[in-house]
Structure 1
Amino acid sequence: MNRRTLAALAAGTALLLAGCTGTGGSTKGADAKAPDDPSKVTGTITVLTQRTDLKQDGTLDRYAAEFNKVYPKVKVEFQALTDYEAEVKIRMNTENYGDVLMIPGVVKKSDYPKFFASLGSQAELSKKYRFTGFTTVGGRVYGQSPIGVMPGFVYNKRVWKAAGVGQWPTSPAEFIADLKAIKAKTGATPYYTNYAAQWPLSSWTFVNGSVHCDTGATTKLAEGDPWAQGADLRVGDTLLYDIVHDGLAENDPTTTNWEASKAQLAKGKLATQWLGTWAIVQFRDAAKKAGVDPDDIGFMPFPAQTDGRFCGTVGPDYNQAVNIHSQHKAAARAWIDWFTDKSGYDKDNLAISPLRNAPLPAVLKPYEDAGVKLIELDDTAGARVKLIDSESEAGIYAPDYRQKLVDLARGARGGTLDGFLGDLGKKWTAAEKTAGTS
């Protein structure tokens, strides 16, 4: 699995309420306390990961070798799973799901204490780390992400400049105008949907919060119509519709190719994709392999401003957790802490550090220069949103409805945008009234 990260999360959260019937755990031994003396920590731990690419190229083994310089008596073994969500879901019906694992989307947040050992209180951990609220149950934290991610447009700066665009667009209308300039003045395809890969379309849900710079955007999903006039998701979905409807995307979305799109964007054949910070390093690597300047790869926020400022929502990647059944909880906790704090995984991926006092990666210096406001969404209502999503069958974390949106925009299905989004809103608000009552 080479793609990272918002898409992986989107796929996972879509499964969140499918149910997990694992044996669960007990409260006895449910804490994975941070060890005081590295020399006394022992054991062999199995770390489950979705990063098959890092297992194959030896990167994970290099991390383990560095870890062993601090914890010489701990042996780290990796199991990289291609279909991570599906495979771990099955394994969690037993007690054998590694010592350290990425929390799969299939596990309900309220069930975290059944499956994972506590890493400590949110009151304490939140002083040092971002994103603790995403895995907190009853004041205890059950997972920690090694990197933070933020949605945005990966784009070829050289192509945009050749089209005469020197500033980030500040509204959807400006964005459309800029894509039209790219189409008229360059040979590049202005926007690439990655329709065939499906999962990139799910990333459009993470527009939520950016449009109005609203930390309470998730709560609003749980209490209202996500496709009401002016709502963040409606703004994002309308922009996607307009891009396709105005002929600014690839001619045949069914033939798109995710892996090939990296080199194509790096070479300037494609101009723009909505993905996330996780993709920057992959596109820059593609540029190097293609013999073009990796600095041509840029990243821009969603085209909307609040009080004259762009906004970006920062959230966690997969969260690492300790299996509540692990016989080596101290070693497992040592790995999570070291990997988060000391491994350099965030820098290697040009990612946002979960450490509150860490600076932004250099690749996001344009965000600092432009005064982009970074916010973390309140995830208190996150579980309820996913319950409503499941019962309404809207599928905001799945690609299906946006594939239908693209089909609608390109004339491959009948209907209107207002009718399409209106139907989704009716299903959603109806589910709000009944979600969790059965």
Structure 2
Amino acid sequence: MTLHRLRTTGAVALLAAAALLVSGCTGSGASSEGADAKAAADPAKVSGTITVLTHRTDWVQNGTMKKYADEFRKTYPKVTVKFEGITDYEGEVKIRMNTKNYGDVLMIPGAIKKNDYPKFFASLGTQAERGEKFQFTAFTTVGGKVYGQSPIGVAPGFLYNKKVWKDAGITDWPTTPAEFLTGLKAIKARTDAVPYYTNFKDMWPLTQWTTAMGSVGCAIQANNDLVDHDPWAKGSELRTIDTLLYDMVREKLVEKDPSTTNWEGSKPQLAKGRIGTMWLGSWAVSQFRDAAEKAGTDPDDIGFMPFPAQVDGRFCAVASPDYAQAVNVNSAHKEAARAWIDWFTEKSGYAADNLALSPLKGAPLPDVLKPYTEKNVKFIELDQARAALVDDIDNAAEIGLKKPDYRQDLVDLARGAKKGDLDGFLGDLSKRWTEAARTTGS
């Protein structure tokens, strides 16, 4: 992923437009609400030129996406696929969605509320139908219909340099946050590496911490439980997750100045052993191993470990979708757009190329997760029955579980750039959430 901060040019206008979108103003994007993108009956008859918006700017630039399009045309010879790689994907696309001009196929931005999917995206079919074949359909289902399909699944974890951790004297995965902090302190004391890298400046990596939810207590209902429980209560999953991030920064186990981090630059730095650890997802392993090859270091030094928590002596990891592809409800070529999504999900090899979980049910785990298999890590998928209500509460509370802002504030608090203490900070989040939960959906 290569998302970056919102550009400052025209910031006032852009942020105002974003506020309208997130608060429910759909611009002209709701004109075809309820439309379907039907599967192609005869590939030879599907035609049109479609634009695919993507966050994979690296693969647009190096020609990889064009190779996928060339393969696609062998099945759909009358369809031309064009790609638009967007660096600040979240920032730019959510603004464009106030118009009809947001491509024919796009990755669904995290800022779009789930209940609003029918306003912006065409249905891909019923969950009952798609759920028989594909994983993760519940994440994009509204009213029994599916509005997006992720081409890959991911598991959250720490990308780490095995050699750095070994040089620090650690060969076993930490099983508690306290053990993990001890490991980072050993890296700081015994190596020249930055123990943990926040990627603070690029913002989006901070949103990845929410993906740890469910791993702490191995709880399938972790997301649904946010409706009825204080997310930051003592012993809660989010409190455990956010406290670990806070403690790493407070104890100076991260880069000296988080405001100067660089996502692309962090890849070769970790590969070379100048960075020890980052919290990301299994999707990132292939990118970091590629960086190792380019840097002339051993790709096998790139490791992946779960969140430091166990239930009954066993680690847990949440399998979840990456960005889901969707058809613009305003597209003039919905059949061609749907054809692209179907082919890209089932036939392109994109999941294998990214060493990622396949969205196809029953597919084998990728080799990158072999260590998880060997150590009997349990995979779970969070129930999504109340996901839309959780999003509504989150928006009403103005916290942003899927946005970077509150964790940037948390990092600033921990490094002394913001006044206050952790209990007060998390207490404020709790108060805002519980107040919003009392009034939302009632």
| TM-score in terms of structure 1 length | 0.91
Asked if the contact 1:32/1:118 (under 8 Å) is kept, the reply is yes
Partner residue in 2 for 1:431: 436
Partner residue in 2 for 1:363: 368
Query: 1:279: how far off?
Result: 1.6
Q: Any unmatched runs of 5+ in structure 1? A: 5-12
Q: Which of 173, 187, 195 is 1:190 aligned to?
A: 195
Report the secondary structure of 2:122's partner residue: coil
Asked if the contact 2:2/2:263 (under 8 Å) is kept, the reply is no
Q: Does 1:22 align with 2:28?
A: yes
Q: Which of 395, 400, 404 is 2:405 aligned to?
A: 400
Q: Which of 221, 235, 245 is 2:250 aligned to?
A: 245
Asked if the contact 1:15/1:105 (under 8 Å) is kept, the reply is no
After superposition, residues 254-333 of structure 1 pair within 5 angstroms as 254-333=259-338
Query: 1:23: how far off?
Result: 4.0
Asked if the contact 1:196/1:253 (under 8 Å) is kept, the reply is yes
2:67 & 2:399 partners in 1: Cα distance?
A: 43
Query: 1:401: how far off?
Result: 2.5
Partner residue in 2 for 1:76: 81
Q: Does 1:341 align with 2:328?
A: no
Query: 1:51: how far off?
Result: 2.2
Query: 1:296: how far off?
Result: 0.4
Query: 1:385: how far off?
Result: 2.0
219-228 vs 99-108, which deviates more? 99-108
Q: Which of 341, 352, 356 is 1:351 aligned to?
A: 356
Query: 1:15: how far off?
Result: 9.7
Partner residue in 1 for 2:140: 135
Partner residue in 2 for 1:8: none
Asked if the contact 1:194/1:257 (under 8 Å) is kept, the reply is yes
After superposition, residues 49-88 of structure 1 pair within 5 angstroms as 49-88=54-93
Give per-residue Cα distances to partners, 1:46-102, cap 9 Å, x unaligned: 222222222221111111110111111222222233333344344434444332222
Query: 1:140: how far off?
Result: 1.2
Report the secondary structure of 1:211's partner residue: coil
Query: 1:3: how far off?
Result: 4.8
Query: 1:362: how far off?
Result: 0.6
Report the secondary structure of 1:229's partner residue: coil
Report the secondary structure of 1:310's partner residue: strand
Distance 1:360 1:84, change over 3 A: same
Q: Any unmatched runs of 5+ in structure 2? A: 5-17
Which amino acid in structure 1 is aligned with residue 321 of structure 2?
Answer: P
Report the secondary structure of 2:369's partner residue: helix
1:288 & 1:221 partners in 2: Cα distance?
A: 42
Asked if the contact 2:282/2:368 (under 8 Å) is kept, the reply is no
Give per-residue Cα distances to partners, 1:28-61, cap 9 Å, x unaligned: 8x22222233222222222222222222211111
Distance 1:350 1:436, change over 3 A: same
428-437 vs 159-168, which deviates more? 428-437
Which amino acid in structure 1 is aligned with residue 2 of structure 2?
Answer: N
Partner residue in 2 for 1:40: 45
Partner residue in 2 for 1:214: 219
Give per-residue Cα distances to partners, 1:196-251, cap 9 Å, x unaligned: 33322222222211101111111112221111011111001111122222232223
331-340 vs 417-426, which deviates more? 417-426
2:180 & 2:212 partners in 1: Cα distance?
A: 15
2:419 & 2:116 partners in 1: Cα distance?
A: 42
Report the secondary structure of 2:53's partner residue: strand
Query: 1:152: how far off?
Result: 1.1
Query: 1:176: how far off?
Result: 1.3
Identity of aligned residues (%): 65
Which amino acid in structure 2 is aligned with residue 125 of structure 1?
Answer: R
Query: 1:351: how far off?
Result: 1.4
Partner residue in 1 for 2:2: 2
Which amino acid in structure 2 is aligned with residue 408 of structure 1?
Answer: L
Distance 1:81 1:181, change over 3 A: closer
Distance 1:197 1:18, change over 3 A: same
Asked if the contact 1:100/1:320 (under 8 Å) is kept, the reply is yes
Distance 1:14 1:194, change over 3 A: farther
Partner residue in 1 for 2:10: none
2:365 & 2:20 partners in 1: Cα distance?
A: 31
1:236 & 1:360 partners in 2: Cα distance?
A: 26
Query: 1:300: how far off?
Result: 0.5
Q: Does 1:173 align with 2:178?
A: yes
Q: Which of 110, 116, 122 is 2:121 aligned to?
A: 116
Partner residue in 1 for 2:234: 229
142-151 vs 325-334, which deviates more? 325-334
Give per-residue Cα distances to partners, 1:237-288, cap 9 Å, x unaligned: 1111222222322233333332222111111111111111122122112111
Report the secondary structure of 1:227's partner residue: coil
1:71 & 1:367 partners in 2: Cα distance?
A: 38
401-410 vs 131-140, which deviates more? 401-410
Report the secondary structure of 2:311's partner residue: coil
Distance 1:352 1:26, change over 3 A: same
Report the secondary structure of 1:155's partner residue: strand
Q: Does 1:152 align with 2:154?
A: no
Report the secondary structure of 1:228's partner residue: coil
Distance 1:265 1:73, change over 3 A: same
1:15 & 1:285 partners in 2: Cα distance?
A: 40
| TM-score in terms of structure 2 length | 0.90
Asked if the contact 1:16/1:108 (under 8 Å) is kept, the reply is no
